[in-house]
Structures are given as C-alpha cells and as structure tokens.
Amino acid sequence: MKLKNKVAVVTGAGSGMGKAMANLFAKEGAKVVAADINQAGIDGTVSEIKKNGGEALGIKVDVTKNDEVKKMIDAAIAAYGSLDILVNNAGIMDNVEPVGNLSDEQWDRVLGINLKGPFLACRAAVGIMLKQKNGGVIVNNASVGGLFGARGGAAYVVSKHGLVGLTKNIASTYGRQGGNIRANCIATGAVNTNIGSAMTHPDALGLAAMGDTGAMKTADPMEIARVALFLASDDSSFVNGATVTADGGWTAR
C-alpha cells in the first residue's frame, strides 16, 4: 500500500480524474478528503471509498474562495491530524476563445478555478507541510494546454501555463531550499471526463487555430490517477518540479 496512513486532499473529487484519484489513493491506504463543488458527486465518491473499505471525508468547496479552501485544509487536519498530499485537480475548459474574443467574465472564471484555486490551496498546504517532519507532496493537474499554445482558448492556456510555473516555483523554493516539499504536475491529454461540458459555444476561430490536434486516444480517468499515485508516493521521491506528460502520444507528433 503505497500511501499507507497518508492524508490526501483531492479537489474535483466528485467526478472524472479526481474521483479516480480519490478511490485509488484510498485503495493504497490513504485517508482521503474528497473536495468538490458538487455535493452529490462528493457523496458518491465517499460512498464508493467506504464501500471498498477505505477511509474518506467529503467537503463541499468553491476553490476560488480563500475561506472555503482554508476550511478544506483545516478539515483534513481536524479529522486526520496531518496533510501529506494535496492534489489540485479541479478545473474547467473555456470556449476556445482567442484573446480578441475573450470576455472579462470568462477570463476571471477560468483563471479563478484553474489557477487561483490551486494557488490558494498550495498556500494553505505549504503552511502545514513546513511544520511536518516529512514535509508533503503537491500534485497539480495541468494539461498539454500548459505546454502549447493551441490546446484551448487564451484563458485555459494561460491558466495551465501558470499552473506549471506555480508548480516549478514551489518545487524550487520549498524542495531545493528546504521544507521537504515536492511539487509536480501532470500534463494530461484527452481524458474521458465531463470537463468539456463547459464548452457551450466553442469559438470558430479558436477551433480553427487548434486544427487537427491528432489526439491518439482518450484516456480512462484511472490511467491519469495512476500517474498521480506515482507522483504522490515515495516511488517518485527524486522527482520534483517536473511536468509529466500523460497524453497517449498526442504531443509526440
């Protein structure tokens, strides 16, 4: 059991990759705090974990609100006494709007969830992990949109590039310079989740810019969860500040 007695907070745990991560982490021995804005999704994830003999706590959270993020971290400490792993998985797509067609509202919404949310959670988690002898691990779920310019609209691409940068800054500051905190991120490709539901009216110019992106396959969420498990466990003890691309070869072309 690779995460035996570890305490893990997973955002976006009500569905998709977050749900898969929460279930897999619990199977590997972690005590999981499953966080999401969707209460029904949280309840379903927690129920599955407990049904399979795991330990979990569900908490509803809007990751863009600092007080709610702090309550999420505090809940983990209150219930289990430590915070060993933080997975920032919650995220949304945009409507592939290029910058000239992008509204203030869409920019704020996408950046709020995809970048501000992880920042708030990392800030709260680092404060706890620095006090712990064993430090902690942060896993940020980015995207191939954080590596290239045409894997989403301007807001999405900026948010994911920012998340990659945030990850590297945390790793270099709190890993290399002291604190025993590792931070890595996953650059996912096409995954079978409901994240695309945010794409209500895809922008024609944005879609044209993306062109034939050549995705070779769509991943099952558990395939990404296994990457997250590697990064969260001691198997990756010498991996810090890395971006692990998990896209089925999409960007290898």
Q: Is 156 a catalytic residue?
A: yes
Q: Which residues sit opposite 35 in a β-bridge? A: 11, 59
C-alpha dist (Å) from residue 54 to 27, 30, 175: 6, 8, 30
Q: Among residues 156, 186, 224, 250, which one is catalytic?
A: 156
Alpha helices in the chain (DSSP H): 16-27, 39-51, 66-80, 104-111, 117-129, 154-171, 204-210, 221-232
Structure tokens at 94: 């945009």
CA-CA-CA-CA torsion sign (14, 3, 124, 93) = negative
Burial readout 185-214 (b: 16 or more C-beta within 10 A, e: otherwise): bbbbbbbbbebeebbeebbeebeeebeeee
- Active centre residues (catalytic): 156
